[in-house]
Structure 1
Amino acid sequence: MRPSAASAADAVCLAASPGGHMAELYSVRAAFDGRPRIWVTGASRQADALREAGEDVRELPPWGRDPPGLRGLAPNLRAARRVLRSAPAAAVVTTGAGTVVPYALMARAAGSELFFMETMARVTGASLTGRIVAPFARAVLVQWPEMRAVYRRATVCRPALLESGDHAATPGAQGTFVSVGTRPEPFDRLLATVDRAVAAGTLPGPVVAQSGTSTYRPVSYSASAWMAPEEVERAMTQARYVVCHGGAAMVSGAVAAGHRPLVLARRRAAGEHRTEHQQQLVERLARERAVVAVEGDIDARDVRIADAREQSTARRSELPSAEAALRDQLARVLG
């Protein structure tokens, strides 16, 4: 459902940086049906798709730990001010990260109510966005019960990105899809792990692989550095197995396509990520039977578990969905 045509001052602004943060916010968009809404994000295919769907999208330039770094802060602040002036909002709902944090804080200072949903990727510790934004938020949502100890007044809900994981795998699917995601760090370890499994006959071909900035050159299959979102979705649907990094959006995409993906977490110590939160997420999702956590080589047992695609225990939880929790919080504050 598209947003209603009510006054912009009554609008709800949905603010998230491109990638997994935007995927999580988009997954709960039905919570805002019937309310005028504005999306604030960075330039991306996700932003383009929202515009094509008739949504009101405002873009902010990146800044922070990824290029252009702190040099991007001044342009980001100027763009945030323009958005605040041209599209005032009664409330801002954000999942982070850095690109939209200044905007969210400026909107709160200007009188907007602020709601923060911590990313599914955070299982035991707060994100930097959470540490900055949560103290100013009217309500905080977390997606794992363990996070109640981190955000004392938070509402605990089911993981938003796992809600759509009830589709059956495509009949006749063949081969293996491999993705390292879109992070700037290389992930040679994943590509090499798959190479050994394909060579040993543990994983079947044909193999469709996305390698990002990795320098490893597989012997048993070929890889493309980047793939468009629609190409990734198609490859997931057509593959029998998915092997990927532990990014929340990539994992949830595989689950939504009917897979129990084989997931290798990026590690900070190996220079594959800035934090260890992928390891925490993968371990937690493995406990919920949503993924197969890969620690060393992929063996026949891992593949058998990946073939057993029963519903994740996280989706059978009695906790409220993130969509329902957000709708309830907005109704309490905005009516």
Structure 2
Amino acid sequence: MRIALVASGGGHVRQLLDLEPLWTGTDYFFITEDTALTRDIATRHRSFFVPHVALGQARLGKPFSMLKAAVQSVWQSWKIMWRERPDAVITTGAGSSYFPVIFGRLLGAKIILIDSFARFSGPSAFARIAGPLAHIRVAQSDEAGRNWPGAQVFDPFRRLETPRPNKEPLVFATVGATLPFDRLVKLVDRAKRKGLLPENVLMQTGQPLDFPVDPEIDLRETLPFNEVKAVLARADIVVCHGGTGSIITALQQGCRVIAVPRSYTRGEHYDNHQWEIAQAFADRGLLTMVGDDDDIEGAIAKARATEPVCATLEPEELIAELRSLMVTWDGREAA
């Protein structure tokens, strides 16, 4: 089968990478956004980039930017899908995935919609809108499945009993792959200036900064994904935004995680789903969360006093189910 792997350029596309045993060895390609992570993916896998589109852009006062990107995405997505003609589309959302999914369905592809692991309590906006187009709907928590009619549930979250890697006196701070996040940068800078982070601090900022930070902080605009994983293997503390990809990748390496979720009311994201993500992980005792009070000092103290946890996503059951379905679909086509 020819498979289109469709997702936006941050944590969503990382979840497609977790499904590699499913699509490796097939005639596959990625449709995603142009980010540091996806540029790294493109060096190893055939990939097409489409513009970043999100309904929340209009909520943040950028309706014309959203419309311009949407028009470009419609045209580019149609060209890709018409030329490639995939037999199946596997998508984890979000906005930039709408049009490839629509055109895939119009061209006869089977649609597998896996809602983001970030959605613990119910389906995402993408899942609600694109769900009627999907042949298979997958939720990744019991509660989300109960609130999304017709969804199958596969919860991939697993705590790891493996020993924590040996750590160095290193703090890694990251704003993620898709949007700038000056508040996180300033909180880490404040902590460093106060002497609360005596370790070496490496910070990925996503873009050039227009304000000064402590000169002892090693600043990088972007980092390739393989380099991020190497840093996480050494880092004791990670300060990150509330994206599932950043959190899970840090937990896989046994890092003490401090999450600073982006806030919709502060104009940092299109909605408050990162608060839901961070709170859910905090409730499980997996990380320390910085709330509305921006108490980075308290979060650092709490993280240092907490036993670090190793955890990961293991989607083997989902992979087995989807592989069985795809074999059936392929057999029907061959017949």
Which residue in the other structure is 2:205 paired with?
211
Deviation at 1:278, TM superposition (A): 0.6
TM-score scaled by structure 2? 0.82
Q: Which of 95, 118, 123 lines up with 2:115 in the alignment?
A: 118
Distance 2:38 2:159 in 1: 21
Deviation at 1:173, TM superposition (A): 1.3
Which residue in the other structure is 2:129 paired with?
132
Please state whether the residue corresponding to 1:175 is helix, strand or coil: strand
Q: Which of 239, 253, 258 lines up with 2:249 in the alignment?
A: 253
Identity across matched positions, percent: 23
Deviation at 1:242, TM superposition (A): 0.9
Residue identity matched to 1:300 = A
Deviation at 1:225, TM superposition (A): 5.6
Distance 1:50 1:192 in 2: 30
* 1:198-249 deviation per Cα after TM superposition (whole angstroms, max 9, x unaligned): 4555433111122345666444843526122244333323222111111112
Which residue in the other structure is 1:186 paired with?
181
Does the CA contact (< 8 Å) of 2:288 and 2:302 recur in 1? Answer: no
Distance 1:135 1:108 in 2: 11
Does the CA contact (< 8 Å) of 1:108 and 1:114 recur in 2? Answer: yes
Residue identity matched to 2:50 = L
> How do 1:63-74 residues align onto structure 2 when only pairs under 5 Å count?
63-65=53-55, 68-74=65-71
How many residues are treated as equivalent by the alignment?
A: 317
Distance 2:217 2:247 in 1: 22
Change (3 A) 1:274 1:166: farther
Does the CA contact (< 8 Å) of 2:169 and 2:236 recur in 1? Answer: yes
Distance 2:234 2:116 in 1: 28
Please state whether the residue corresponding to 1:234 is helix, strand or coil: helix
Please state whether the residue corresponding to 1:72 is helix, strand or coil: helix
Change (3 A) 1:181 1:34: closer
TM-score scaled by structure 1? 0.82
* 1:35-87 deviation per Cα after TM superposition (whole angstroms, max 9, x unaligned): 3222222334444444433x332333344455842113333222222222221
Q: Do residues 93 (structure 1) and 90 (structure 2) align?
A: yes
Deviation at 1:92, TM superposition (A): 0.7
Which residue in the other structure is 1:12 paired with?
3
Q: Which moved more, 1:217-226 or 1:266-275?
A: 217-226
> How do 1:135-214 residues align onto structure 2 when only pairs under 5 Å count?
135-159=132-156, 168-188=163-183, 190-199=184-193, 201-212=195-206
Distance 2:5 2:11 in 1: 14
- Computed over aligned residues only, the root mean square deviation of the Cα atoms, in angstroms, reads 3.0
Distance 1:58 1:183 in 2: 17
Residue identity matched to 1:61 = P
Residue identity matched to 2:88 = A
* 1:162-212 deviation per Cα after TM superposition (whole angstroms, max 9, x unaligned): 569676544241121112224435341x33443454455543311112234
Residue identity matched to 1:259 = C
Deviation at 1:24, TM superposition (A): 0.9
Structure 2: runs of 5 or more not aligned: none
Change (3 A) 1:49 1:211: closer
Does the CA contact (< 8 Å) of 2:36 and 2:222 recur in 1? Answer: no
Distance 2:261 2:47 in 1: 32
Please state whether the residue corresponding to 2:168 is helix, strand or coil: coil
